[in-house]
Amino acid sequence: MKRPSRISSNLRTSVHHQLNMYALAATAGGIGILPVTQPAAAKIVYTPTKVSIVGPRGFYSLDLNHDGITDFTVFNTTNYNTDQAFWELGAKPAPGNAAIGTIAYRGFPVSLRALPRGVRIGAGARFYHTTGKLASFYVGGGGYSAHGKWVNVSNRYLGLKFQIDGRTHYGWARLTVQVLTNPVRINALLTGYAYETTPNKAIAAGRTHGSVESRAEPSPIPLAKPTQRRASLGLLAMGSSGLSIWRREEQAAVGE
């Protein structure tokens, strides 16, 4: 009664041994080995804040990644001459940096866009490396008027591109702006800013957290034909008789 059990046990051991031998041979020959790549973590660094930038000589040095280097200067200034007055809220990028905007008129400052939440900030957007205007107010002989895309907006986003160690990163700054007329003044409130730590990776306006796994593209390694590899595994599991069949199939494949 015990002999069949011993035979069955020996058969299982033999099959297991054959499978192990096949796995070793496949590894040595580079068959079916898939490259393993380590995921690289990407994340958004968000800085909440509550800073009022008010005139007539208001300035704020925006350091997106807290490395001690000013990436953008947000200014709120007032200028007068004999019969005119100008109030202006704008942003000046450091060399190599830029903000999303549009050209209003030839010879006029770039009009910086007030982006709604969720807009993609990245390659393909129209960035300008010059000083841009958020909002302005004019009083003079021709009357008075307000200009700019940031006139009386709440929680809009300035799309930013800046450099860290010579590599491009994208970010945003969130502001609420009021243009008031009695008396005339521009109030600007900076309520937060963020940037993407992965170079050249876009960020959504208003996104404050999250991580994305990015994988390097593995180098292609030739694999055996799937049908051939499955048949070979089954034949090797049969033991010496299956091995003979497998060898004949291999010889036939070489002759094709």
pTM, two decimals, is: 0.67
What are the tens digits of pLDDT across the range 54-107? Answer: 999 999 999 999 999 999 999 999 999 888 999 999 999 999 999 999 997 777
Q: Which distant-in-sequence residues (6+ apart) come within 8 Å of 68 by Cβ?
A: none
Q: Where are the domains of the chain?
A: 18-34+221-254, 40-214
What are the tens digits of pLDDT across the range 158-206? Answer: 999 999 999 999 999 999 999 999 899 999 999 999 999 999 999 999 9
Pairing status of strand 57-62 against strand 72-80:
antiparallel
Tokens of 50: 């509550």
CB atoms within 10 A of CB 67: 10
